[in-house]
Chains A and B, each alone.
Chain A
């Protein structure tokens, strides 16, 4: 059950767990960003957890002065049939978080997407290019301070 997973996190990583919340039967664990790879590795390999499948990884913009960006990991265990959500934060000035591609190789593209949309750098991702936007685009469109209509002139258009 998910409560045993939470207990395991508390005992094995006492310093890393910042907060635990529950909403609609879903557990969200906020972690210290330096420990995310170790925690993910433990969650993947531990017998009682077996989070072998990365359902989703995404960035989010809390738009706060400190710890502005969030990286959210939705994990799934195929054998134990449970889900958990991990969350780490990154500062605006130095938005760098460790990459979990060493745990789940499939995290590469979702991390590229988060980099493209929020400008969060994932240390350890070997191919951190933009996912959707052109390489020469200077902005990160899902940030809250990027206007919905876009920035005129941000995308170079072909000459007439």
Chain B
């Protein structure tokens, strides 16, 4: 089959799917016309390489079919072919807006599989980095959503704040974007007092700056009118469709895995789960905004409560030893050699562990047969499940609302396409 035939086959199937969605279009007026519009994969408002095929009736969306796979890199196949430690850098590239969150989610799943727990100090560090990642992700979500409906200034202001966070990440992890910070049973480097000071300094100035940015939106008539009552989904439908994260909480479901089945030390920290019942784009925006404020509170508490102590679990056959000991101690050299070359070899079994990622329930389902590599690893990505509901959200809305709705759903294609 040559390329032209292949494209023909593919387009036929996509069109057939569009046609089958039971949307009958009436042609009363000669000017009224049904049109199939292609949006993306290279479109600034699709937040990456999401492709939407839209059937229009005049300016109203009659049907929408998302096409995924433009960023498919086969991470689940790769995971089956590399050891548990080797996969950590790949998790950075899933939800590339909040890599620290993915690092944490992945190692928590692996730790559950091999049955170890990280020391308390590490658990606090993981809470802090997860919440910092959540703030940086939600800042992008809010800024990009505002930009999509025309308020460019907010994007530049939230980006400035995110830039400060990335300076912290750079100092703490050694990389701005692809952090690969966590390890099975620990983290790569300890959080030093200067990092805590940097985070405190950021938190001290951040609420005022955030307030400045959102004041441009919360009383902005254009922003409110473009998002209020747009892209509504009911609570029952959102649950049935498997929506998660801020999108689900925007419909009134108080489901937050940090509260629902607490992992790390979230049960010791005091925070609220913001929910809104409207289920529209504005509700999703407000959920994110309030979550940022809650994250600030969580980080403050964690910084106050963080104990001193080791950052690696004492499990010599499972946890990578510190590098300075590898170079000087025989025992650690052997363990390092064994873990790097033969992997950690967890017991045979299967686990599913989910965390409340910045986009929603980020879960890892791992089947192990006792080898150094997982037999099967499934990444339950929140963006994938959220994009699935986009056709419901945009139906009967105006074509110009699609960008506002996509901005409020906040998909990240690295995660949806895997």
Contact = CB atoms under 8 A, between A and B. Distances in A.
Nearest to B72: A132
B76 A142 contact: yes
B384 interface: yes
Contacts of A157: 3
B362 to A, nearest CB: 11
B380 A24 contact: no
Contacts of B78: 148
Interface stretch (A7-15, A34-42, A89-97, A104-112): A104-112
B363 A55 contact: yes
A136 B69 contact: no
B19 to A, nearest CB: 12
B92 interface: no
Contacts of A127: 17, 20
Given A136-B1, A141-B74, A55 B354 contact: yes
B188 interface: no
A132 B69 contact: yes
A54 B242 contact: yes
Nearest to B236: A52
Contacts of A121: none
A15 to B, nearest CB: 24
Nearest to A126: B20
A106 B1 contact: no
A17 B2 CA distance: 48
B388 A108 contact: yes
A141 B354 CA distance: 25
Nearest to A85: B352
Contact of A56 (B9, B363, B389): B363
Interface stretch (B118-126, B211-219, B253-261, B273-281): B253-261
A133 B74 CA distance: 10
A109 B240 CA distance: 13
B3 A74 contact: no
A140 to B, nearest CB: 11
B10 A136 contact: yes
Interface in A37-72: 52-56, 58, 60-61, 72
Interface residues on B, range: 35 or more
A159 B365 CA distance: 40
Contact of B385 (A106, A117, A142, A158): A106
Which residue of B76, B378, B388 has the most chain A CB atoms within 10 A of its CB atom?
A: B378
B240 A56 contact: no
A109 B384 contact: yes
B365 A78 contact: no
A136 B384 contact: no
B350 A23 contact: yes
Interface in B367-382: 367, 375-376, 378, 380
Contacts of A107: 242
Interface string B121-160: 0000000000000000000000000000000000000000
B325 interface: no
A148 B81 contact: yes
Nearest to B21: A127
Contacts of B351: 23-24, 26
Contacts of A106: 240-243, 385, 388-389
B376 A83 contact: no
B417 A132 contact: yes
A131 B6 contact: no
B240 A134 contact: no
Contacts of B401: none
B385 A109 contact: yes
A63 to B, nearest CB: 9
30 contacts: A24-B112, A24-B115, A26-B350, A26-B351, A26-B352, A52-B239, A55-B242, A55-B352, A55-B354, A56-B378, A56-B380, A60-B376, A61-B376, A72-B350, A81-B261, A105-B240, A106-B243, A127-B17, A127-B20, A131-B69, A132-B418, A135-B6, A136-B6, A142-B74, A142-B76, A142-B77, A148-B81, A156-B1, A156-B3, A157-B3
Given A55-B363, A72-B350, 6 more contacts: A23-B349, A58-B376, A78-B253, A129-B13, A132-B68, A159-B3
